[in-house]
Chains A and B, each alone.
Chain A
């Protein structure tokens, strides 16, 4: 983990602006557009279904007060969770990198662990302790705790690579610590923080498991009801389109607020200082998310296990088979997602323009949609285009890619953007072809960002439920589907090993994630 270090390019050369200001090469545009098209499949499906409903039905549905209420609830929750994750995650990252606390490695690792807990499991665990929990504030709290690592990890990585020279200068010139941080360091970590916040925001738009358990009615609640009680696919599609519109607004907003950092020359990083008397306070802030997002739910689940009257023997071969399927599918999804996201990330990191913006935004769409919508759209697509792959792992892995590619795009884009474009120019002048340059210079230097992207996809795929239920090969079970089929029957005794295995398996990539540095630092 700590070996995942590379000599930082910015220590070798002052960094010029990473972005080219001329147009992207057509081949890259075409390739990126093709990759983004995979993420547009659900959108095409939704439009087809919505047109089937007819204009009057569409208008009738849209003006229903309940749809407005669901939309308002969705927006409020997403905004509140995003804001609190941004603040808490940035503070945690700052403590992790700037304060010399005991057990530094362990704390870093712990701060990544909430990623390993599926949101529905976290909500369930909290309800065991506090059955009265419900509504907006409960959903906001639990979702914030589960999602904070999406901000903490990239910001901590960026902080480690950030130059501290300017901040020191600002302090010397009389700025207080907060204002110096805001003026000198924040601009450097801002892209990482905002990219993390974007993932949090899209996740909270699309989540159903948590809001359903904590009884806060959002659009995903409405979508599920349309499938479950009205058997009305067209109305479900319409509500999902509302989610798509919200997501596009969010992605566009993120792109606008993600100002590119110019090169900040400098070598030194801020030395970590001793915590003094505030140590326990810092530790408490750091541990809030791991305790609320991991310890409380997991212990709650275990207590239900002890209450269960019918303790069943663990079916070991079956558990092992589910672990194998989960790992295989998640790894495959991670690899494919990296290759599909790479052209989009490369394009977005280096070029500007309306077309680039559209391609990137489309790549993010899948993440804002509930799994059931993406799952059904791929049923529709696979049967029409590649019926021989229907109900095979191929289509399931493809669904994971559509759903989770955005997690890869964000971190890969930051990783590639951090590689000075001038290095590529030098390599070209020295006679390497564009592809050789890409492979031997850019890709290698951006590798941490690429690895982060792959791990995020792997974690998410392990926890995914609704699309897996729809698309898995008949007879294949993952840990998430096994867990679902047991909790559906109140079989806490039988469910516990699967819940434990899921959290443990997802912890592996989470731990790897906490060890990767997004940009390099001085060795």
Chain B
């Protein structure tokens, strides 16, 4: 009977480890200016942490960060409600911020903070503030298409010539924001026709932007609708010269050229937390905005900072009179996509 001893040792060891792990209790942070706060970041650690480090050094405030993806952290915050240990939520899309604002989870931000960002790129009621912008673009396979053959309008994808050759991610928040823009710009009837025609034109369905880009870069499909930022992230990893997928910006005025924003909100329980507010101000300040331009190739949203080189100017892209976080509108968009079987 050699086994019981070895297994017993394993069990004992594991229990000790388990107990050791359990002692690591969560620290609760008070919602006042105590030189510390907790951030839920729906954006990646590799991009955000250097910025946090800069902020900590400059302000002397220590930031505890919980990284995750935006959708999951949004669901987490809804579930936590008032009990959340977080003071600030940094999100990758406006829809998630709008959902939390709708649930009454955000405090109203001071006008001094929100005024830094022009209308159309931030909330309409100061519940959250836009931090960076991401243009919707068409990515195309440069081995299959010449730059001049890339459509300048998303309307081209209803053409049977594109049947089965283009990719979309209809369950993705940024695609749905684009369809909303289409409805606002061109009217419900035109939007219905466009979605119907695209759905009938054998689009290749993906779960997210990144997968579309990978498929174009591998020559699986000829073109896809994504956010510009993903291309630069991959180019930074594999080298710009090695990118088979290239970007094309739809013509100004086309719904395909809208800008999605990332943003930040202050949780309701932290309404008076000066540390948390200082961080949000930092995000829409010149230093952080320049950091996003240099490191993530995103559009800065404040005046006085230039867009990354090679990108069309922000004001040449349309953001129609549209609240990116308006969930009622989002629901109509989802109903439209659902009607034609895309989601």
Cβ of B38 within 8 Å of any chain A Cβ, yes or no, is yes
Which of chain B's residues has its CB closest to A332's CB? B18
Which of chain B's residues has its CB closest to A308's CB? B237
Q: With a 10 A CB-CB cut-off, give which of B6, B71, B215, B331 has the most chain A CB atoms.
A: B71
Which of chain B's residues has its CB closest to A493's CB? B237
Cβ of A399 within 8 Å of any chain B Cβ, yes or no, is no
Write out the residue numbers on chain B whose beta carbons fall within 8 Å of the beta carbon of A3: 2-3, 6
Contact with A along B284-309 (1 / 0, CB 8 A): 00000000000000000000000000
Write out the residue numbers on chain B whose beta carbons fall within 8 Å of the beta carbon of A392: 22, 24-26
A165-223 contacts to B (CB < 8 Å) = 212-213, 215, 217, 221
What is the distance, in angstroms, from B4's C-beta to the closest C-beta of chain A?
A: 6
Q: Which of A12-20, A148-156, A472-480 is the contact stretch?
A: A472-480
Could you tell me if A485 and B18 are in contact, using CB atoms closer than 8 angstroms?
no
Cβ of A469 within 8 Å of any chain B Cβ, yes or no, is yes
Write out the residue numbers on chain A whose beta carbons fall within 8 Å of the beta carbon of B38: 474
Cβ of A74 within 8 Å of any chain B Cβ, yes or no, is no
Write out the residue numbers on chain B whose beta carbons fall within 8 Å of the beta carbon of A227: 71-72, 74-75
Q: Which of B76-84, B106-114, B182-190, B269-277 is the contact stretch?
A: B76-84
Bound-complex Cα distance A450 to B173 (A): 45
Q: Which of A264-272, A283-291, A379-387, A405-413 is the contact stretch?
A: A379-387
- Given A331-B14, A331-B18, answer yes or no on A390-B26 (Cβ-Cβ < 8 Å): yes
How many B residues touch the partner, as a band?
A: 35 or more
Cβ of B53 within 8 Å of any chain A Cβ, yes or no, is no
Total interface residues on A, CB under 8 Å, equals 74
Write out the residue numbers on chain A whose beta carbons fall within 8 Å of the beta carbon of B13: 331
Could you tell me if A448 and B26 are in contact, using CB atoms closer than 8 angstroms?
no
What is the distance, in angstroms, from A408's C-beta to the closest C-beta of chain B?
A: 13
B32-85 contacts to A (CB < 8 Å) = 38, 44-47, 64-72, 74-76, 78-81, 83, 85
Write out the residue numbers on chain B whose beta carbons fall within 8 Å of the beta carbon of A88: none
Could you tell me if B76 and A6 are in contact, using CB atoms closer than 8 angstroms?
no
Could you tell me if A393 and B219 are in contact, using CB atoms closer than 8 angstroms?
no
Cβ of B210 within 8 Å of any chain A Cβ, yes or no, is yes
Write out the residue numbers on chain A whose beta carbons fall within 8 Å of the beta carbon of B115: none
- Given A221-B207, A229-B173, A490-B238, answer yes or no on A387-B83 (Cβ-Cβ < 8 Å): yes
Could you tell me if A329 and B21 are in contact, using CB atoms closer than 8 angstroms?
yes
Which of chain A's residues has its CB closest to B177's CB? A229
Query: A309 contacts which of B2, B83, B237 (Cβ < 8 Å)?
Result: B237
Bound-complex Cα distance A309 to B234 (A): 10
Could you tell me if B214 and A470 are in contact, using CB atoms closer than 8 angstroms?
no
Bound-complex Cα distance A126 to B210 (A): 17
What is the distance, in angstroms, from B147's C-beta to the closest C-beta of chain A?
A: 22
What is the distance, in angstroms, from A372's C-beta to the closest C-beta of chain B?
A: 6
Bound-complex Cα distance A230 to B176 (A): 10
What is the distance, in angstroms, from B67's C-beta to the closest C-beta of chain A?
A: 6
Bound-complex Cα distance A382 to B176 (A): 34
Could you tell me if B67 and A485 are in contact, using CB atoms closer than 8 angstroms?
yes
- Given A307-B242, A335-B15, A474-B65, answer yes or no on A231-B327 (Cβ-Cβ < 8 Å): yes
Cβ of B218 within 8 Å of any chain A Cβ, yes or no, is yes
What is the distance, in angstroms, from A378's C-beta to the closest C-beta of chain B?
A: 10
Bound-complex Cα distance A464 to B108 (A): 37
- Given A310-B237, A376-B79, answer yes or no on A131-B173 (Cβ-Cβ < 8 Å): no
What is the distance, in angstroms, from A322's C-beta to the closest C-beta of chain B?
A: 12
Bound-complex Cα distance A66 to B233 (A): 33
Write out the residue numbers on chain A whose beta carbons fall within 8 Å of the beta carbon of B334: 229-230
Cβ of B161 within 8 Å of any chain A Cβ, yes or no, is no
Cβ of B236 within 8 Å of any chain A Cβ, yes or no, is yes
Write out the residue numbers on chain B whose beta carbons fall within 8 Å of the beta carbon of A260: none
Cβ of B252 within 8 Å of any chain A Cβ, yes or no, is no
Could you tell me if B69 and A231 are in contact, using CB atoms closer than 8 angstroms?
no
Cβ of B99 within 8 Å of any chain A Cβ, yes or no, is yes
Could you tell me if A474 and B66 are in contact, using CB atoms closer than 8 angstroms?
yes
Bound-complex Cα distance A72 to B173 (A): 25
Could you tell me if B220 and A473 are in contact, using CB atoms closer than 8 angstroms?
no
Could you tell me if A490 and B237 are in contact, using CB atoms closer than 8 angstroms?
yes
Bound-complex Cα distance A470 to B77 (A): 10
Could you tell me if A224 and B46 are in contact, using CB atoms closer than 8 angstroms?
no
What is the distance, in angstroms, from B195's C-beta to the closest C-beta of chain A?
A: 14
Bound-complex Cα distance A230 to B239 (A): 35
Which of chain A's residues has its CB closest to B331's CB? A230
What is the distance, in angstroms, from B328's C-beta to the closest C-beta of chain A?
A: 12
Cβ of B7 within 8 Å of any chain A Cβ, yes or no, is yes
Could you tell me if B171 and A221 are in contact, using CB atoms closer than 8 angstroms?
yes
Cβ of A430 within 8 Å of any chain B Cβ, yes or no, is no
Bound-complex Cα distance A397 to B24 (A): 13
Bound-complex Cα distance A317 to B197 (A): 54
What is the distance, in angstroms, from A56's C-beta to the closest C-beta of chain B?
A: 15
Bound-complex Cα distance A389 to B21 (A): 12
Could you tell me if B176 and A331 are in contact, using CB atoms closer than 8 angstroms?
no
Cβ of A428 within 8 Å of any chain B Cβ, yes or no, is no
Cβ of B316 within 8 Å of any chain A Cβ, yes or no, is no
- Given A392-B24, A493-B237, answer yes or no on A231-B3 (Cβ-Cβ < 8 Å): no
- Given A229-B173, A488-B44, A490-B233, answer yes or no on A6-B1 (Cβ-Cβ < 8 Å): yes
Which of chain A's residues has its CB closest to B237's CB? A490
Cβ of B146 within 8 Å of any chain A Cβ, yes or no, is no
Write out the residue numbers on chain B whose beta carbons fall within 8 Å of the beta carbon of A394: 22
Query: B17 contacts which of A233, A332, A492 (Cβ < 8 Å)?
Result: A332
Cβ of A511 within 8 Å of any chain B Cβ, yes or no, is no
Which of chain B's residues has its CB closest to A213's CB? B211
Could you tell me if B20 and A328 are in contact, using CB atoms closer than 8 angstroms?
yes
Cβ of A254 within 8 Å of any chain B Cβ, yes or no, is no
Cβ of B343 within 8 Å of any chain A Cβ, yes or no, is yes
Write out the residue numbers on chain B whose beta carbons fall within 8 Å of the beta carbon of A481: 67
Could you tell me if B7 and A447 are in contact, using CB atoms closer than 8 angstroms?
yes
Bound-complex Cα distance A390 to B26 (A): 7
Cβ of B205 within 8 Å of any chain A Cβ, yes or no, is yes
Bound-complex Cα distance A451 to B17 (A): 18
Write out the residue numbers on chain A whose beta carbons fall within 8 Å of the beta carbon of B7: 447, 450-451
Query: B69 contacts which of A327, A387, A469, A490 (Cβ < 8 Å)?
Result: A469
Could you tell me if B64 and A474 are in contact, using CB atoms closer than 8 angstroms?
yes
What is the distance, in angstroms, from B136's C-beta to the closest C-beta of chain A?
A: 15
Cβ of A132 within 8 Å of any chain B Cβ, yes or no, is yes
A1-40 contacts to B (CB < 8 Å) = 3-6
Could you tell me if A328 and B17 are in contact, using CB atoms closer than 8 angstroms?
yes
Cβ of A102 within 8 Å of any chain B Cβ, yes or no, is no
Write out the residue numbers on chain A whose beta carbons fall within 8 Å of the beta carbon of B96: 231
Cβ of A255 within 8 Å of any chain B Cβ, yes or no, is no
Cβ of B338 within 8 Å of any chain A Cβ, yes or no, is yes
Residues of A near any B CB (own CB < 8 A): 3-6, 64-66, 127, 131-132, 212-213, 215, 217, 221, 224-225, 227-231, 233, 236, 307-310, 325, 327-329, 331-332, 334-336, 338, 372, 376, 379-380, 383, 387-394, 397, 444, 447-448, 450-451, 466, 469-470, 473-476, 481, 485-486, 488-494
Q: Which 10 A-B pairs have the closest CB atoms?
A: A332-B18, A231-B99, A131-B218, A228-B71, A225-B171, A331-B14, A393-B21, A391-B26, A309-B239, A490-B237
Q: A229-B71, A466-B72 are in contact. List 9 more A-B contacts (CB 8 A).
A: A3-B6, A229-B172, A310-B237, A328-B17, A331-B17, A332-B14, A444-B4, A470-B76, A475-B64
- A sample of 28 inter-chain contacts (CB < 8 A) reads A4-B3, A131-B219, A132-B220, A213-B211, A215-B211, A224-B71, A224-B171, A225-B343, A227-B71, A228-B71, A229-B173, A231-B96, A233-B79, A236-B75, A307-B238, A327-B17, A328-B21, A332-B22, A389-B25, A392-B25, A451-B3, A473-B26, A474-B26, A474-B85, A485-B44, A485-B67, A491-B46, A492-B237
